[in-house]
């Protein structure tokens, strides 16, 4: 009686196209399926000669299926790692360009200049509301003016500053 290695090797040579097809269906990559078939051959060479294998055909196909699943998982992990590496290497730099920084500084200087040139009490009311976080009601209470007047001052200041956005 042949030993397990010889029996499985002979069976593998006979069933190689079917084994490849099985492994290819699981892995979905021709080269990886070829590698898996080679791994199957190597695995067969390490089978214990004395082990009792009742159905060499079923044993061979179970080995092939398990190896194909392992190869598919490994391939998937490799592809995920490569995608992650690609993403890290090709991160887009979303920091502003020198031109954008210069334009932003110019726009900020213009806004500061416009705020400085606002008439009182519009300037004070706007600064208290926008920079110090006071509500219009609080500003009205502190200044003794009506909330609707405070609202008009803030709105006029915003209308003036809106022209900077349009330029």
The residues spanned by each domain of the chain are 4-78, 100-163
The domains spanning 4-78 and 100-163 adopt the same CATH topology: no
Residues 29/57, Cβ–Cβ less than 8 Å: no
Per-residue pLDDT, 2: 64
CB crowding 103-118: b at 16 or more within 10 Å, else e: eeeeeeeeeeeebeeb
Q: Which of the listed CATH numbers 1.10.10, 1.10.1740, 1.10.3470, 3.40.50 matches domain 4-78?
A: 1.10.1740
Q: How many helices (H) and strands (E) does the chain have?
A: 7, 0
Assign 150 a pLDDT band (cuts: 50, 70, 90): very high
CA 124 to chain centre: 46
E strand spans, 13-163 = none
Nearest to 53 by CA among 125, 90, 5: 5
Which of 35-39, 49-53, 112-116 bottoms out in mean pLDDT, i.e. has the lowest? 49-53
Distance, CA of 167 to CA of 159 (rounded, Å): 14
Nearest to 156 by CA among 122, 105, 121, 130: 122
Per-residue pLDDT, 94: 74
Q: Which of the listed CATH numbers 1.10.10.10, 1.10.1840.10, 3.30.450.370, 1.10.10.60 matches domain 100-163?
A: 1.10.10.10
Distance, CA of 51 to CA of 42 (rounded, Å): 17
CA 116 to chain centre: 45
What pLDDT, in 10s, does the model give residues 87-127?
A: 777 767 778 889 999 998 999 999 999 999 999 999 999 99
Q: Give me the percent of the chain exceeding a pLDDT of 90.
A: 66
Across 132-137, average pLDDT:
93
């Amino acid at each position: 009686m042949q030993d397990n290695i010889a029996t499985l090797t002979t069976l593998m040579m006979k069933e190689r196209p079917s084994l490849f097809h099985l492994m290819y269906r699981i892995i979905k990559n021709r080269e990886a399926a070829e590698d898996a078939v080679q791994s199957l051959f190597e695995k067969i060479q390490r089978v214990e000669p004395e082990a009792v294998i009742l159905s060499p055909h079923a044993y061979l196909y179970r080995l092939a299926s398990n190896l194909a699943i392992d190869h598919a998982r490994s391939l998937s992990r490799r592809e995920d790692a490569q995608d992650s590496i690609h993403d890290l290497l090709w991160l887009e730099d979303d920091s502003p360009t020198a031109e954008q920084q210069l334009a932003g500084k110019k726009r900020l200087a213009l806004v500061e200049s416009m705020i400085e040139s606002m008439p009182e009490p519009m300037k004070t009311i706007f600064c208290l509301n926008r920079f110090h976080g006071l509500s219009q009601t609080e500003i009205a209470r502190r200044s003794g003016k009506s909330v609707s007047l405070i609202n008009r001052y803030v709105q006029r200041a915003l209308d003036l500053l809106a022209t900077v956005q349009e330029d």
